[in-house]
């Protein structure tokens, strides 16, 4: 269907809340996740702090964000989105301003780690996807496509933005400028996107040991995390996001080590981020035709292959192959993770369960950048570290392949039964059909 200018007001009326959540995703992810890889070399040159110390700051932010998500998920289920987003925005921004002025290594690690962790606990996908899933229950696949397409602009905007700002001012003023941008563009979302609290149900049994769930989902953390399907999913996400977080921090320095200038390396990183957008735009048809598990399998394989190619980064041909295939693949992985999790967890306690998943994933993924930093310091290069990142993506693929199959709760309209019998695939087809 061709989009005409006169259709835009109607689309805005339907999707304005998702658009605001997407903008929040851009400025939060762009600042505390993507830009940090650009900060590494300038901070080292200015302060003399080792790579492992900066890795510790980044890993602490992942850990803090995951543990904080346990609290923000529960608060989201109880009182809705406004209090969660506003409180984390203000507290996290204050600590990031402290990090901008930190004169000691320890002070920077603690202020950045806790500040960025608070931002990620309240403004990252664990919260924005839970809000979107609950506000657009019957159009979830389409809403996720809009949210993640907008959120996908974080990388192509913030990699080059951070590079330009650091070249123009310095890393400290760059952080201060980005804090202001974060506050200005997130306040409208915190003020205007309301609701998304859970609706209590009379038959909820938080002490149930039953590992099955209805169409509405699991009723408690205990019930969910007694399920083999949930445990494998969380392990799969933990490995994949550990690899991804390490890659985000170190692929720009790795490109610089291969002889590229900071400007060239950040430009390639920005192009890589921009290439994630086609995958997000095609989320609904991809999920509808192949199903979420099959699509994720292909994307994990592609990420492992792409990182392996980056080891040969002495040639610009290999560098651009890495940028193209990993950019396209990750553009689809992020929303597929969200769809897979919301379908496995169900709607009933999605805020709490997404928060718990984020906490567990963060505990594992925080080790990724820290471990890579230690390997880089010890080996004096990036080859072994990149090999480990590729292996983690391959391990995620292995967990996905041994996931349990479930019979679909409701077959997709107008399509045959999925040959793998994956409920996640079938419910995604239904969601995609209802959203078109």
User: Could you tell me the domains of the chain?
Assistant: 16-198+220-435 (1.20.1250.20)
Question: CA triplet 89, 94, 96: central angle to 5 degrees?
Answer: 95
**CA–CA dist 261, 283 (Å, integer):** 34
**CA–CA dist 216, 371 (Å, integer):** 39
Nearest to 306 by CA among 364, 247, 373, 382: 247
For 305, residues 6+ apart whose C-beta sits below 8 A from its C-beta are: 325, 390
Chain-centre distance for alpha carbon 110: 22
Residue 101 has pLDDT above 90, yes or no: yes
Cβ–Cβ < 8 Å for 149, 22: yes
Instruction: Please tell me what DSSP assigns to residue 5.
Output: G
Cβ–Cβ < 8 Å for 251, 273: no
User: Among 37-51, 58-72, 300-314, 402-416, which is the least confidently predicted range?
Assistant: 402-416
Q: What average pLDDT is seen over the chain?
A: 80
**Burial of 108 (C-beta count, 10 Å sphere; 0-12/13-18/19+):** buried
Residue 223 has pLDDT above 90, yes or no: no
For the chain, what percent of residues have pLDDT higher than 70? 82
Highest mean pLDDT among 50-64, 113-127, 349-363: 113-127
Is 154 or 370 the better-scoring residue by pLDDT? 154
Cβ–Cβ < 8 Å for 415, 429: yes
For 18, residues 6+ apart whose C-beta sits below 8 A from its C-beta are: 132, 135, 136, 143, 146, 147, 150
Q: What is the rounded average pLDDT of the residues 248-263?
A: 81
Give the model's confidence band at 425: pLDDT under 50 very low, under 70 low, under 90 confident, else very high. Answer: very low
Nearest to 254 by CA among 385, 412, 163: 385
Cβ–Cβ < 8 Å for 55, 374: yes
Residue 88 has pLDDT above 50, yes or no: yes
**CA–CA dist 342, 348 (Å, integer):** 10
**CA–CA dist 282, 273 (Å, integer):** 16
**Element containing residue 243 per DSSP (H, E):** helix 228-257
pLDDT in tens, 382-423: 888 888 888 899 999 999 998 876 544 443 333 333 433 343
Residue 110 has pLDDT above 90, yes or no: yes
Predicted local distance difference test score (pLDDT) of residue 255: 84
Highest mean pLDDT among 129-133, 172-176, 371-375: 172-176
Instruction: Please tell me what DSSP assigns to residue 33.
Output: I
Highest mean pLDDT among 80-84, 215-219, 342-346, 382-386: 80-84
Question: CA triplet 32, 307, 283: central angle to 5 degrees?
Answer: 70
Count of CB atoms situated within 10 Å of the CB of 83: 15
Predicted local distance difference test score (pLDDT) of residue 432: 34
pLDDT in tens, 258-290: 778 888 888 888 788 778 777 676 666 777 777
Nearest to 62 by CA among 353, 364, 393, 372: 364
Give the model's confidence band at 6: pLDDT under 50 very low, under 70 low, under 90 confident, else very high. Answer: low
- Whole-angstrom Cα Rg for the chain: 21
Residue 159 has pLDDT above 50, yes or no: yes
pLDDT in tens, 318-371: 888 888 888 888 777 878 888 888 878 877 777 888 888 878 877 777 777 777
For the chain, what percent of residues have pLDDT higher than 90? 25
Q: What is the rounded average pLDDT of the residues 298-315?
A: 84
Q: Which two tokens stand for residue 250?
A: 């170190």
Predicted local distance difference test score (pLDDT) of residue 11: 66
User: Rounded to two decimals, what is the model's pTM?
Assistant: 0.68
Q: Which two tokens stand for residue 177?
A: 């400028």
For 239, residues 6+ apart whose C-beta sits below 8 A from its C-beta are: 364, 392, 393, 395, 396, 399
Nearest to 356 by CA among 343, 345, 348: 345
Give whole-number Cα distances, 221 to 217, 237, 348, in Å. Answer: 11, 17, 11
Predicted local distance difference test score (pLDDT) of residue 50: 87
Residue 119 has pLDDT above 90, yes or no: yes
Predicted local distance difference test score (pLDDT) of residue 426: 38
For 79, residues 6+ apart whose C-beta sits below 8 A from its C-beta are: 197
Nearest to 133 by CA among 394, 436, 435: 435
């Amino acid at each position: 269907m061709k989009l005409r200018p006169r259709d835009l007001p109607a689309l805005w009326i339907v999707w304005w809340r998702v658009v605001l959540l997407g903008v929040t995703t851009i400025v939060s992810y762009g600042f505390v996740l993507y830009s940090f890889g650009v900060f590494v070399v300038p901070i080292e040159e200015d302060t003399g702090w080792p790579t492992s110390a900066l890795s510790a700051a980044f890993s602490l932010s992942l850990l803090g964000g995951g543990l904080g998500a346990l609290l923000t998920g529960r608060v989201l289920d109880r009182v809705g989105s406004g209090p969660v987003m506003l409180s984390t925005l203000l507290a996290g921004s204050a600590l990031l301003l402290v990090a901008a002025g930190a004169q000691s290594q320890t002070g920077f690690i603690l202020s950045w780690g806790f500040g960025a962790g608070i931002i990620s606990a309240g403004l990252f996908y664990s919260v924005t996807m839970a809000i979107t899933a609950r506000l657009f229950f019957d159009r979830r696949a389409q809403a996720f496509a809009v949210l993640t397409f907008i959120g996908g602009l974080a990388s192509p905007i913030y990699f080059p933005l951070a590079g330009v700002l650091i070249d123009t001012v310095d890393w400290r003023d760059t952080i201060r400028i980005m804090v202001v941008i974060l506050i200005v563009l997130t306040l409208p979302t915190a003020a205007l996107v309301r609701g998304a609290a859970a609706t209590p149900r009379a038959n909820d049994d938080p002490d149930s040991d039953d590992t099955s769930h209805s169409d509405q989902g699991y009723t408690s953390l205990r019930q969910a995390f007694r399920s083999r399907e949930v445990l494998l999913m969380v392990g799969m996400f933990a490995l994949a996001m550990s690899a991804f977080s390490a890659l985000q921090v170190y692929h720009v320095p790795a490109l610089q080590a291969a002889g590229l200038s900071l400007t060239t390396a950040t430009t390639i990183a920005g192009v890589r981020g921009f290439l994630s957008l086609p995958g997000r735009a095609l989320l609904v048809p991809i999920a509808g035709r192949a199903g979420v598990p099959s699509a994720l399998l292909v994307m994990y394989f592609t990420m492992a292959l792409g990182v392996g190619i980056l080891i040969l980064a002495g040639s610009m041909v290999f560098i651009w192959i890495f940028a193209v295939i990993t950019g396209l693949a990750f553009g689809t992985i992020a929303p597929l993770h969200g769809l897979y999790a919301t379908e496995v967890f169900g709607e009933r306690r999605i805020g709490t369960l997404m928060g718990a998943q984020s906490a567990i994933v963060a505990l594992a993924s925080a080790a990724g950048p820290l471990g890579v930093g230690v390997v880089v310091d010890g080996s004096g290069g990036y080859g072994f570290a990149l090999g480990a990142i590729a292996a983690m993506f391959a391990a995620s693929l292995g967990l996905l392949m041994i996931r349990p199959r479930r019979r679909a709760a409701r077959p997709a309209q107008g399509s045959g039964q999925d040959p793998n019998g994956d409920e996640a695939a079938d419910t995604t087809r239904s969601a995609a059909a209802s959203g078109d």
